[in-house]
């Protein structure tokens, strides 16, 4: 065998070893799927007619879906934010210049290389990832998605996209929140989740309550209360736990609705304020879901208007519920 042939065989063997090593590395890391078109991908020079970017971080409930679609002489933004699910699906009419910005975003970040990217890291728990769908005026398109793994340059792209969308979406969320507060919520209560903690000199009172209507016969434990009462303010000192399936009349949802109306809790919609310097000893969270799908969320250690009065009346009512339901077991 000539030296030339030997070198050739060693070269081929080296390439095969390298490919095997790269494949083994991906298998070891749990990453499977397609890497996309790659750096040699051809950039589409036509305009963007439809742009949809979805991003999620399951472990901390961060995420959004942002879609921009061309409509004749304007564009329409449709936006959802998982941290503000109570705002629902929001939309806003925009100038067509937004599509020029998105075209620049696509081209300057060489997103063409992502076309066909479809990877998943099966060794990572959770469902964190993204998807990107682009449609172009010449009929072309781009699809890319990843679960627990992202293409090269993703962080830079995401930050650049935020520079475009954040000023628009933050204003849109503020406008939507103000509109919901002005209109109010017209539905009836379907479920309520409430948590209250009050820190005393040495111990902390806590009440965790979850009530819901039984939509299906298989649903159980529609009354759930866990309490640690050290002050004896509502229940005698001790620990309490009750998870029961009861007739809805024992949940006192109409009375809760009356308290919501009395204290105008729609003004609490979207309340989320924390302060390390706050002198209050209260921490709370409240989620009310209505039959029409609307949600009222509020939480924090900075307290909204009429909080103490509502807390007093609500926990007195829940104490009555607990006592009545406990009597049913006797």
Residue 184 phi, psi dihedral angles, 5° rounding: 80, 175
Domain ranges for the chain: 32-182, 189-328
Q: What is the largest CA-CA distance in the chain?
A: 97
How much is the pLDDT for 29?
Answer: 65
How much is the pLDDT for 86?
Answer: 93
Comparing CA positions, the residue from 200, 209, 197, 195 lying closest to residue 231 is: 200
Residue 315 phi, psi dihedral angles, 5° rounding: -70, -30
pLDDT digits (tens, 9 = 90+) for 74-126: 999 999 999 999 999 999 999 999 999 999 999 999 999 999 999 999 888 77
For the chain, the average pLDDT equals 90
Q: Which CATH class is domain 189-328?
A: alpha beta
Q: Is the pTM of this model over 0.75?
A: yes
- Residue 117 and residue 37: Cα distance in Å, rounded? 7
How much is the pLDDT for 216?
Answer: 57
Strands 90-94 and 117-121 come out as unpaired
Comparing CA positions, the residue from 186, 161, 146 lying closest to residue 293 is: 186
For residue 152, the tally of other CB atoms under 10 A from its CB is: 15
Sheet holding 282-290, edge to edge: 238-244, 223-229, 204-212, 189-199, 282-290, 295-300, 271-273
How much is the pLDDT for 20?
Answer: 46
């Amino acid at each position: 065998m000539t030296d030339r042939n030997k070198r050739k065989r060693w070269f081929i063997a080296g390439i095969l070893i390298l490919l095997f090593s790269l494949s083994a590395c991906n298998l070891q890391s749990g990453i499977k799927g397609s890497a996309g078109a790659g750096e040699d991908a051809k950039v589409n020079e036509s305009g963007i007619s439809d742009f949809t970017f979805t991003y999620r971080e399951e472990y901390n409930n961060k995420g959004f879906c942002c879609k921009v679609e061309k409509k004749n002489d304007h564009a329409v933004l449709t936006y959802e934010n998982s941290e503000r699910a109570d705002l629902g699906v929001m939309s806003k009419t925009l100038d067509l210049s937004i599509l020029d910005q998105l075209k620049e975003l696509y081209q300057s970040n060489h997103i063409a290389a992502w076309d066909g990217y479809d990877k998943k890291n099966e060794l990572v728990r959770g469902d964190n990832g993204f998807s990107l769908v682009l449609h172009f005026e010449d009929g072309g398109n781009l699809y890319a998605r990843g679960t627990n793994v992202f293409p090269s340059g993703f962080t830079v792209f995401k930050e650049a996209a935020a520079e475009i969308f954040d000023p628009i979406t933050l204003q849109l969320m503020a406008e939507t929140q103000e509109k919901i507060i002005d209109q109010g919520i017209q539905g009836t209560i379907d479920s309520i989740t409430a948590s209250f903690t009050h820190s005393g000199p040495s111990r902390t009172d806590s009440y965790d309550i979850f009530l819901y209507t039984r939509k299906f016969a298989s649903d159980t434990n529609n009354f759930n209360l866990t309490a640690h009462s050290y002050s004896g303010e509502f229940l005698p000192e001790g620990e309490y736990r009750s998870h029961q399936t009861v007739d809805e009349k024992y949940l006192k949802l109409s009375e809760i609705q009356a308290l919501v109306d009395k204290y105008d809790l729609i003004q609490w919609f979207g309340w989320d304020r924390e302060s390390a310097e706050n002198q209050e000893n209260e921490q709370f969270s409240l989620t009310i879901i209505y039959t029409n799908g609307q949600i009222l969320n509020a939480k924090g250690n900075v307290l909204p208007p009429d909080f103490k009065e509502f807390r007093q009346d609500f926990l007195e009512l829940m104490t009555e519920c607990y006592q009545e339901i406990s009597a049913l077991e006797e």
